[in-house]
Structure 1
Amino acid sequence: MIPYARRAAALCLLLLVALLVNALRIQVVRAPAYDANPANRRVPIERYGQPRGDILVGSRPVTGSRSTGAQLDWVRTYADGPLYAPVTGFSSQTYGTALLEAAEDDILSGSSPGLSALPLWNAVSRQPQRPGHVRTTIDPAVQKAAYKALGGKKGAVAALDPATGRILALVSTPSYDPGTIAGTGPQALGAWRRLVTAEDQPMLNRALRQTYPPGSTFKTVTAVAALVSGVVTDVDRPTDSPDPYPLPGSTTALGNESASAGCEDAPLRYAYVVSCNTVFGKLGDDVGLRAMRETAEAFGFNDPSIGVPSHPAVSVFDRRMDRAQLALSSIGQYDTRATPLQMAMVAAAVANDGTLMYPHLVDRTTDGAGLPLEVTGQRAYRQVMDAAVAFAMQDMMVAVVRHGTGRNAALPGALVGGKTGTAQHGEDNRGNPFAWFISWAKQSRGAPAEVAVAVVVEDAAADRADISGGGKAAPVARAVMRAVLAH
């Protein structure tokens, strides 16, 4: 009898071990696959079983949560939704997350191990953690000024603190209210369909996720390349630049907007102020593809790793071009494309004496009690140019505002530098141009620059002759700079 009892006990022990192993397999090894299975309702029920953490602008939350009493209880809400949508993105029970809501989802949803003093125990017990909060670098006064200045225009604004890389404003218009798509009912479904099929694309973040030909604002990059490479050593010395300029290897000649601009053999300073295509097209060819590409990439072009923490679209300067294409790219045309954030980085590097700081949108993350989890430090992205080149560029940008096409950006009592751009696009360049303006402002010469701005306006309803960076975009930049300097 004893041998049978021993065998039965051994079999029971084996079955117990098998049950434990299977439980371990299901609860630990297979847990990620079960969590990701769309049929598993426990994950969304747990996710929306408590209020989501908040995104803060200044000291004020611009997000919230409301209880519905349904199975997926807590729904995301937004204060000033259209104003801050390019910053927050959306969190939807139906459509997922986007932008900052996606990039910081682990903090906001409470799933980050850093929110718990005993993360391993929480992972085993699967006890819900109190969500944390995300404080942005956005200045509410600057954000509101940019949004109001754009008004009904289709376009975008990106504003940076040149010395720190803090993003002070991100505006994209037309915009939308993320709260309309936060839930699960027919209202959210209808709102989503209207938004994604709208002709003017209100859900497109034009400040971060849309690239445009930068037009003459890119001449800032070309001027830096010419000075850094030594192709130009004196900004007031005449250049060898015919008008019109025959594009190398082509039967096409590059001209200027005005035949009376006096661009033939114009010095760099004069050519920058009046925006001579011929001078900058030839300078790009003289500098050469390699040096032009290296300078553009020092400003952040062609870099897919930049995250703020949401990843902007990659701004592009082609790495393979013939000489004619290089000349066109050097005036911000051909295949050269940039986001407003990228062009704000160009202005910021010049304003910060040649040092480009890494742009960032999150100031800090905190736990549910407000205690800091992570504070975003300031770090340099690249030393784009030395101080002497930066000072020369600053003087040229100031001349654009004082004497050139950027007069609409001038602010009494402040030192403002800028560059206009009118970017051609469409088949045979027949589309309405995009109006650009990049700029920076400081209280006085010798003081640190307090803001760098990029503005782009897509105004399809305007007459073609009425679209220009100085006319359409510069007043928007002025409003943004005024808001920063007013603090």
Structure 2
Amino acid sequence: MIRYIRWCAYFCAALLAALLINMGRVQVWEASAYGANPANKRTAVERYAKPRGDILVDGRPVTGSRDSGQLLRYERTYANGPLYAPVTGFSSQTYGTSFVERAEDPVLAGTDPGLSAFPFWYDLARGHPPGGNAVTTIRASMQRAAYTGLAGRRGAVVALEPATGRILTLVSSPSYDPAALSGTGARVKEAWTRLNADPARPMLNRALRETYPPGSTFKIVTAAAALDAGVVTDVDAPTQTPDPYPLPGTSTLLPNEATGCEDASMAEAVQWSCNTVMAKIGVQVGLAGMVEAARRFGFNDDGLRVPSWVSPSAFDTDMSPDQLALSSIGQFNTKATPLQMAMVASAVANGGELKRPYLVERTTQDDGSQVRRGEQHALGRAMSPATALRVQELMVKVVENGTGRNAAVPGAVVGGKTGTAQHGVGNAGTPYAWFIAWARAQGAPLPAVAVAVVVEDAAADRGGISGNSAAAPIARAVMAAALAAKPAP
């Protein structure tokens, strides 16, 4: 009898061991799989059980949380949602997150280990600390100046601090209110469908994700390449360029919108935006030289993060001489984001050194204690300091007595470059109006801001589109706001 009791005890012990092993398998080895299972609502319930941390602009939150009283308790709210949507993105209980909401989600959601000195305690307790905050580099006055200037027209504005790479302005228009996507249910699904079906594409971040032909603003890259390569040693010397200019190896003649471009110098070509001269100079620099110059400015880089990913700007690496001529004036297959063209202006303003753009100054705990700080990095030297100084002089002439007079800011030194980019089949599309610029307060040692503006308003009169009329006034307003603003802490 005792033997049977012993066997029974052994059998019960084996069952208990099997139960413990299976419990360990479920809770340890397969926990992540069960947690990711769409049928498991506990993860979502826990995620939205507490208010989400905030995204800050100039020290003030532009986001918040609202107690919905539902199973997924706290929904995201936005102050001035359309104004800051290209920065914050959305945080939706239905469709996930985007932009800073996605890039800094662990901090905002309270799951980042850096939010607590004892992260393992929260793991054991199956909880997490309050959500932290993401402090952005955006300046509110500049953001509003850009948004107001675009006035709902399709386009984008990016402004950088040349010495650091801080993104001071990031505007895309038309915009949308991220709050419409925050919760769940039919209302959110209808908003998602409507926004995605809108032909104006309000959810497209044109500043970071759309690429355009940069037109004549790219001539700044060509000018820098020519000076660094020694192709041009005297910017005031005649270039012996005919008007119109025969594209190499073809019978096609490249015309000018401006007058007086025949045999113009490079300085005059930048000042009055002569296509012929800059196309010829690009061919003289050569394919390898132009590709390398474009790379130094950030073109063909598919790894840029700010911290959200950025569409790569493109300069072809395999072209015939006639294609190179067009590419050197920002046409053919050359494409750039507004951020990329702001980087071009920033490199010129910063003495040739290009800083990596970044959008998050620091992340903090909910009490303001720092978790991580955004690091400033140099992407390399886009041009020599001597070349940068010479290109600065060329850009100042554009604003003082050239095609970019509408960008002048009283009491400041401003350098700029206009661009009117043709596009579409047979260039039949309404041109994109571009303007890139930098501004330095009188007496200041360095420029405080570099900006790029693109306006792609299909409803505009084709004949009235130009960088000076459509884009330069917006750049002026943003630069004036930058010069009037107090330095960032």
Instruction: Answer yes or no: same fold by TM over 0.5.
Output: yes
Deviation at 1:4, TM superposition (A): 4.5
| Corresponding residue for residue 56 of structure 1 | 56
| Corresponding residue for residue 316 of structure 2 | 318
Separation in 2, partners of 1:291, 1:16? 74
Contact 1:340 1:456 in 2 (8 A): yes
Separation in 2, partners of 1:2, 1:229? 98
Tell me which amino acid in the other structure corresponds to 2:189. L
Paired residue secondary structure (2:263): coil
In the alignment, structure 1 residue 455 sits paired with structure 2 residue 453:
yes
**Cα deviations by residue, 1:416-448 (Å, 9 ceiling, x for unpaired):** 000000000011001000000000000136621
**Cα deviations by residue, 1:156-195 (Å, 9 ceiling, x for unpaired):** 1000010111111111111111001111122222222221
**Residues 406 and 21 from structure 1, CA distance in 2 versus in 1: closer, same or farther, beyond 3 angstroms?**
same
Paired residue secondary structure (1:207): helix
In the alignment, structure 1 residue 129 sits paired with structure 2 residue 129:
yes
1:356-395 equivalences in 2 (<5 Å): 356-395=354-393
Contact 1:162 1:352 in 2 (8 A): yes
Separation in 1, partners of 2:449, 2:197? 36
**Cα deviations by residue, 1:246-270 (Å, 9 ceiling, x for unpaired):** 2222231212113xx2222321111
1:156-171 equivalences in 2 (<5 Å): 156-171=156-171
Contact 1:54 1:64 in 2 (8 A): yes
Larger deviation, residues 388-397 vs 441-450: 441-450
Paired residue secondary structure (1:175): coil
**Cα deviations by residue, 1:234-287 (Å, 9 ceiling, x for unpaired):** 1112224222222222231212113xx222232111111111111111111111
Larger deviation, residues 340-349 vs 375-384: 375-384
**Residues 248 and 12 from structure 1, CA distance in 2 versus in 1: closer, same or farther, beyond 3 angstroms?**
farther
**Cα deviations by residue, 1:128-175 (Å, 9 ceiling, x for unpaired):** 321111000000111111111111322110000101111111111111
Contact 1:111 1:129 in 2 (8 A): yes
Matched residue count: 485
Deviation at 1:121, TM superposition (A): 3.4
In the alignment, structure 1 residue 335 sits paired with structure 2 residue 333:
yes
Separation in 2, partners of 1:391, 1:20? 73
Separation in 1, partners of 2:16, 2:340? 61
Larger deviation, residues 4-13 vs 388-397: 4-13
Separation in 2, partners of 1:380, 1:9? 70
Paired residue secondary structure (2:209): coil
Tell me which amino acid in the other structure corresponds to 1:109. A
Contact 1:215 1:333 in 2 (8 A): yes
Tell me which amino acid in the other structure corresponds to 1:97. T
Tell me which amino acid in the other structure corresponds to 1:345. M
Deviation at 1:111, TM superposition (A): 1.5
| Corresponding residue for residue 112 of structure 1 | 112
* Uncovered stretches (5+) of structure 1, i.e. residues with no partner: none
Query: What is the root-mean-square deviation of aligned Cα atoms in Å?
Result: 1.4
**Residues 118 and 248 from structure 1, CA distance in 2 versus in 1: closer, same or farther, beyond 3 angstroms?**
same
Deviation at 1:231, TM superposition (A): 0.9
| Corresponding residue for residue 304 of structure 2 | 306
Separation in 2, partners of 1:120, 1:326? 58
Deviation at 1:12, TM superposition (A): 3.4
Separation in 2, partners of 1:264, 1:33? 70
| Corresponding residue for residue 199 of structure 2 | 199
Separation in 1, partners of 2:480, 2:343? 19
Deviation at 1:17, TM superposition (A): 3.0
Deviation at 1:453, TM superposition (A): 0.3
Tell me which amino acid in the other structure corresponds to 2:198. A
**Residues 7 and 469 from structure 1, CA distance in 2 versus in 1: closer, same or farther, beyond 3 angstroms?**
same
In the alignment, structure 1 residue 24 sits paired with structure 2 residue 20:
no
**Residues 248 and 9 from structure 1, CA distance in 2 versus in 1: closer, same or farther, beyond 3 angstroms?**
farther
Separation in 2, partners of 1:20, 1:302? 55
Separation in 2, partners of 1:37, 1:250? 61
Separation in 2, partners of 1:10, 1:303? 66
| Corresponding residue for residue 474 of structure 2 | 476
Separation in 2, partners of 1:51, 1:93? 13
| Corresponding residue for residue 42 of structure 1 | 42
| Corresponding residue for residue 398 of structure 1 | 396
Paired residue secondary structure (2:452): strand
Separation in 1, partners of 2:396, 2:443? 11
Deviation at 1:112, TM superposition (A): 1.3
TM-score by length of 2: 0.96
Separation in 2, partners of 1:178, 1:256? 44
TM-score by length of 1: 0.97
Contact 1:82 1:175 in 2 (8 A): yes
Larger deviation, residues 471-480 vs 443-452: 443-452
| Corresponding residue for residue 293 of structure 1 | 291
**Residues 286 and 88 from structure 1, CA distance in 2 versus in 1: closer, same or farther, beyond 3 angstroms?**
same
Query: Which of residues 461, 464, 467 is equivalent to 2:462?
Result: 464
Paired residue secondary structure (2:206): coil
Paired residue secondary structure (1:138): coil
Deviation at 1:6, TM superposition (A): 4.7
Tell me which amino acid in the other structure corresponds to 1:421. G
Separation in 2, partners of 1:221, 1:20? 67
Separation in 1, partners of 2:251, 2:35? 62
**Residues 3 and 244 from structure 1, CA distance in 2 versus in 1: closer, same or farther, beyond 3 angstroms?**
farther
**Cα deviations by residue, 1:187-212 (Å, 9 ceiling, x for unpaired):** 22222222111121111111111111
Separation in 1, partners of 2:120, 2:470? 56
* Uncovered stretches (5+) of structure 2, i.e. residues with no partner: none
Paired residue secondary structure (2:433): strand
**Residues 257 and 41 from structure 1, CA distance in 2 versus in 1: closer, same or farther, beyond 3 angstroms?**
same
Query: Which of residues 416, 438, 454 is equivalent to 1:418?
Result: 416
**Cα deviations by residue, 1:90-122 (Å, 9 ceiling, x for unpaired):** 001111111111111111111212222222332
Larger deviation, residues 416-425 vs 310-319: 310-319
Paired residue secondary structure (1:307): coil
Paired residue secondary structure (1:332): coil
**Residues 116 and 446 from structure 1, CA distance in 2 versus in 1: closer, same or farther, beyond 3 angstroms?**
closer
Paired residue secondary structure (2:207): coil
Separation in 1, partners of 2:77, 2:108? 13
**Residues 267 and 22 from structure 1, CA distance in 2 versus in 1: closer, same or farther, beyond 3 angstroms?**
same
1:138-157 equivalences in 2 (<5 Å): 138-157=138-157
1:32-111 equivalences in 2 (<5 Å): 32-111=32-111
Deviation at 1:381, TM superposition (A): 1.3
Separation in 2, partners of 1:389, 1:186? 58
| Corresponding residue for residue 283 of structure 1 | 281
**Residues 477 and 3 from structure 1, CA distance in 2 versus in 1: closer, same or farther, beyond 3 angstroms?**
same
Contact 1:415 1:445 in 2 (8 A): no
Separation in 2, partners of 1:179, 1:340? 26
1:210-249 equivalences in 2 (<5 Å): 210-249=210-249
Paired residue secondary structure (1:425): coil
Separation in 1, partners of 2:362, 2:163? 18
Separation in 2, partners of 1:317, 1:385? 17
Deviation at 1:125, TM superposition (A): 3.3
Separation in 2, partners of 1:6, 1:229? 92
